[in-house]
Amino acid sequence: MRPYLQKAGPAGLCLLLLVLATSGAAQAAVQSLEPRLLSPAPVGLNSLIFTYVYSSGDVILGNSIPLEGTKARLNSVAAIYIRSIGILGKAGRLTVVVPLANGKWSGEFSGVDTSTTRTGFGDPVVGIGMGFVGTPALRARNMATFRPGTMLGGGLRVSIPIGQYDSSKFFNLGTNRWLFTPGIAAMRYVGRWGFEAQLRATFSTTNSEFYGNTEVGQEPLVGFQFHVEYTFKRGLWAAASFGQSFGGATVVDGESQGNDQTNNRFALTLDYPLGKAWSVKGAYTGGISTRYGGDFNTYALGFQHHWGGM
């Protein structure tokens, strides 16, 4: 057992559970398994997306922690705004995500139920991305003749710590720390098929106001993912995805806990057009193996409205 847990007793044991449960924010940033990050879109196109997400599963703690039945369930809705832009003649994208969630965490310590529920806003996320190779900034009138080949691009997402957070509570929807996730992606279209690879890393600041006057941080979490996509017709496509993460060990009061999140996940996505201006997207994400952290099944359903880009 870790030294800080020996000192803290039951509170320290619960602390490790909480750190692992809330570190899912960094894992989600790295392994959100989003295909088509480099999909061509005309400059000036706006997308407003309303998404419902349901996640449930276990929090993996390790055999040395005498906590049983550690589970989490999260219902969330998010408003997402995306605008396609041009940057130095290359296609770019601005993204803003505002989540509202209801979360329930449960677990038993020495036969005592530690269940709790939180409802409120999570940490919003802002992002910017741009293409480097094979991604010219085009207007809608030029998109019909554009034939994408090999594309390379990158971007940065920032999670802003203004979500619901109370240092007197064990569980929170906000993380009370900044998360920075840079990434690069490469994509190749071959006929109706698309093959995409992404590499991301999440770096975080330290939460100096964690429960029990404790300072909590996280080592860098690195993840790569692969996507295979097929386009049936304009606007109708499906994708199968795989992601693997490394690192992300919890740091408590300056001491690494050695609980690297060497986890892998898979996802299935389907996007279906509803006329010219609307579409619906469904996705499922599940775990293949989880060493530490959240082992969740996630279902997402989003309605997207598009305008502009003429």
Check residue 40 and give its pLDDT: 82
Distances (CA, A) of 231 to 46, 127, 146: 22, 26, 16
Check residue 109 and give its pLDDT: 56
- pLDDT-wise least confident of 104-108, 150-154, 194-198, 297-301: 104-108
The CA distance from 198 to 190, in Å, is: 18
What mean pLDDT comes out for the span 66-93? Answer: 85
Q: Confidence class of residue 248 from pLDDT cuts 50, 70 and 90?
A: confident
Instruction: Indicate the helix (H) or strand (E) that contains 120.
Output: strand 116-121
Bigger pLDDT: 249 or 281?
281
Residue showing tokens 């992601």: 243
Query: Which parts of 133-212 fold into alpha helices (H)?
Result: 140-143
Q: 0.85 cut: is pTM over it?
A: no
Question: Of the segments 43-47, 68-72, 100-104, which one has the largest average pLDDT value?
Answer: 43-47
Is the confidence at residue 230, as pLDDT, over 70?
A: yes
Q: Is 254 left (phi over 0), alpha (psi -120 to 50) or beta?
A: left
Check residue 16 and give its pLDDT: 41
Q: Confidence class of residue 29 from pLDDT cuts 50, 70 and 90?
A: low
Q: Which of 202, 197, 242 is nearest to 222 (CA)?
A: 202
Q: Confidence class of residue 15 from pLDDT cuts 50, 70 and 90?
A: very low
CA atoms within a 13 Å half-sphere pointing along the CA-CB vector of 217: 12
Bigger pLDDT: 23 or 225?
225
Distances (CA, A) of 247 to 26, 263, 289: 11, 9, 15
Torsion of CA 26, 204, 163, 55, to 10 degrees: 10
Q: Round the average pLDDT of the chain to a whole number and report it.
A: 82
